[in-house]
């Protein structure tokens, strides 16, 4: 659909972005990516296995010419680690984009927003297009924007929890205060959650677990594709106000 958007001069065709973790194999990852219609795929940065070098490469299945590869700093708990992974990712990849994660707590996987802010500032100065994974906190979102983030990626709920958008009101406020695009990252459990995020006016949604761990990941990828399109169209169409009482939609005139 003719609904493209730009971030730092990069054009995005799809408002559904997907992660590549937790799939059974690369073949399934590639099929889900295809079914989702996503044009942004996030990947993690890890050591090459130098003992078993025959292991396959993700990029043999996810063509960087077809998809925008968005490296992430998943698993980083400190600012120095997040910076190190970001710099390595830039050298391994083809762009300056990084989905910046500085995790603050192992149990909830909530971001360490103080560390995130510091890392965002440093990487933005180094020319990175920083996409920080943040809490659903409007003040932090604004601070990240001021620190040079090109978008903000607030969580809908904890990573992998599938609880949906737990605080749609905060999300609304983030959308009001942030001038940069808002991309929901984490929390989506099923199609309606993705639709809710888009109906609120979010610019895109990033989904991994909800697709990868569904019983049929390929079908769920397709469901998410339509959910995001439906939510976006509903947002742009302007929904009716909620009313407490009924309001007839058929004319009174002509009744017997």
Instruction: State the residues that interact with other proteins by CB under 8 A.
Output: 18-23, 26, 29, 42-51, 53, 57-59, 69, 71-72, 74-76, 84, 87-93, 101, 103, 109, 133, 159-160, 185-186, 206, 208-209, 212
Yes or no: say if 108 and 158 are a contact pair by the CB < 8 Å rule: yes
CB of residue 98 vs other proteins: minimum separation in angstroms? 12
CB of residue 225 vs other proteins: minimum separation in angstroms? 16
The answer to whether 242 is a known catalytic residue is: no
Q: Which is nearer to other proteins, 3 or 108 (CB)?
A: 108
Q: Which is nearer to other proteins, 24 or 239 (CB)?
A: 24
**Which residue matches tokens 């219609």?**
37
Q: Which is nearer to other proteins, 62 or 124 (CB)?
A: 62
Catalytic residue among 22, 65, 99, 179: 99
CB of residue 211 vs other proteins: minimum separation in angstroms? 9
**Which residue matches tokens 């998809």?**
67
Q: Which is nearer to other proteins, 120 or 161 (CB)?
A: 161
Helix 138-146 and helix 113-125: axis angle, to 10°?
A: 20
Distance, in Å, from the CA atom of 160 to the CA atom of 196, rounded to the nearest integer, reads 17
Q: What are phi and psi of 145, to 5 degrees?
A: -60, -45
Distance, in Å, from the CA atom of 66 to the CA atom of 195, rounded to the nearest integer, reads 25
Distance, in Å, from the CA atom of 200 to the CA atom of 83, rounded to the nearest integer, reads 32
Residue 209: other Cβ atoms inside 10 A: 18
CB of residue 151 vs other proteins: minimum separation in angstroms? 16
**Could you tell me the two tokens for 185?**
């990252």
**Active site residues per annotation:** 99
């Amino acid at each position: 659909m003719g609904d493209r958007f730009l971030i730092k001069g990069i054009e995005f065709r799809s408002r559904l972005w997907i992660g590549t973790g937790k799939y059974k194999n690369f073949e399934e990852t590639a099929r889900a990516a295809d079914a989702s219609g996503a044009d942004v795929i996030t990947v993690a940065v890890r050591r090459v296995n130098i003992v078993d070098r025959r292991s396959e490469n993700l990029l043999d299945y996810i063509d960087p010419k077809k998809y925008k590869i968005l490296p992430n700093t998943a698993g980083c708990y400190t600012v120095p680690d997040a910076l190190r992974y970001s710099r390595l990712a830039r050298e391994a990849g083809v762009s300056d984009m990084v989905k910046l994660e500085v995790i603050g707590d192992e149990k909830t996987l909530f971001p360490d927003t103080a560390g995130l802010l510091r890392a965002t500032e440093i990487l933005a100065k180094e020319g990175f297009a920083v996409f920080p994974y943040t809490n659903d906190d409007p003040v932090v979102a604004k601070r990240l924007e001021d620190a040079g983030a090109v978008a903000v990626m607030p969580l809908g709920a904890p990573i992998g929890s599938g609880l949906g958008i737990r605080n749609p009101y905060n999300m609304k406020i983030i959308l009001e205060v942030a001038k940069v695009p808002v991309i929901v990252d984490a929390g989506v459990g099923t199609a309606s959650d993705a639709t809710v995020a888009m109906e609120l006016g979010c610019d895109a949604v990033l989904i991994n677990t909800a697709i990868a761990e569904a019983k049929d990941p390929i079908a769920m990828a397709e469901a998410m594709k339509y959910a995001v399109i439906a939510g976006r169209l509903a947002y742009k169409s302007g929904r009716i106000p909620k009313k407490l009482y009924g309001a007839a939609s058929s004319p009174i005139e002509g009744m017997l």
